[in-house]
Amino acid sequence: MSGRIVVLISASGTNMEALVDACHKGDVPGDVAAVVADRDCLGITLAKRRGIATSVIEPKNFDDRDTWSEALRDRVASFRPDLVVSAGFMRVLSPAFVDAFADRLINLHPSLLPAFPGAHAVRDALEAGASETGTTIHFIDHEVDHGPIIKQARVPIVADDDEAALHERIKEAEHALLPEVCTIFLRGEVTRTSG
């Protein structure tokens, strides 16, 4: 059985592309059914070029966050996902959205959670003088960068690292880890309770 994956993005979509490639190679028992963004971005353009269904649900087009969240939830639900992946989606998902996909909603975060949650995780790791950081894939709950951790990958911080260089190395780790986690999820080898 092939699982249906919906990917949420806000920018370049490199993790989405890595996942699509892994699906096409047969490494992941599923396909990216749709890519949904909160703004028009490079990742949407790349998904369209690959023939993947896309949607842009911009908060500015809605009266308030709740209405936007409901529209986002309904659009994602319309693609009948077995798994929803937040991969560089730079908005906090509302409880209404999280609850709709609670047992099949995961996030990719560029740190070894619980260290360095939030939008500036790479910068925060450098400023803290950490010797390593990495990436975490976890189930999403009602708190930011929180919820049962599924898998992590470590990335060393080297002496001449700046934010851009470190982020690129973290992305390389993410590009390997995301297909691996999607695979074990779609095979039923990890659940929210077994995390």
Sorted by sequence, the CB contacts under 8 Å of residue 141 that are 6+ apart come out as 98, 102, 147, 148
CB 79 within 8 A of CB 6: yes
Dihedral angle, C-alpha 49, 109, 5, 15, nearest 10 °:
30
Beta-carbon-side half-sphere exposure of residue 73 (alpha carbons within 13 Å) = 17
109 labelled catalytic? yes
CB 23 within 8 A of CB 31: yes
C-alpha–C-alpha distance, residues 104 and 190, integer Å: 10
C-beta neighbour count of 15 within 10 angstroms: 23
C-alpha–C-alpha distance, residues 161 and 132, integer Å: 11
For residue 33, which of 70, 83, 72, 69 has the smallest C-alpha distance?
Answer: 83
Active-site option among 109, 120, 146, 167: 109
Mind telling me the catalytic residues?
A: 109
